[in-house]
Amino acid sequence: MNVSDQQAEIVKSLLKITREEELNCNELLEVIGEYAEKKLSGQPIDKTLEPVEHHLGLCRECEEEYEALCKALQDIENL
Q: Which residues bind other proteins (CB under 8 A)?
A: 1-18, 20, 22, 24-26, 29-37, 57, 59-61, 64-65, 68-69, 71-76, 79
User: Considering beta carbons, is residue 22 or 37 the nearer one to Zn ion?
Assistant: 22
Does the protein bind Zn ion through residue 59 (CB under 5 A)?
yes
Instruction: List all residues 6 or more positions away from 62 whose beta carbon is below 8 Å from its beta carbon.
Output: 25, 28, 32, 55, 56
11, 25, 45, 68: which one binds Zn ion (CB under 5 A): 25
> How many whole angstroms separate alpha carbon 1 and alpha carbon 65?
30
Using CB under 5 A, list all residues that contact Zn ion: 25, 59, 62
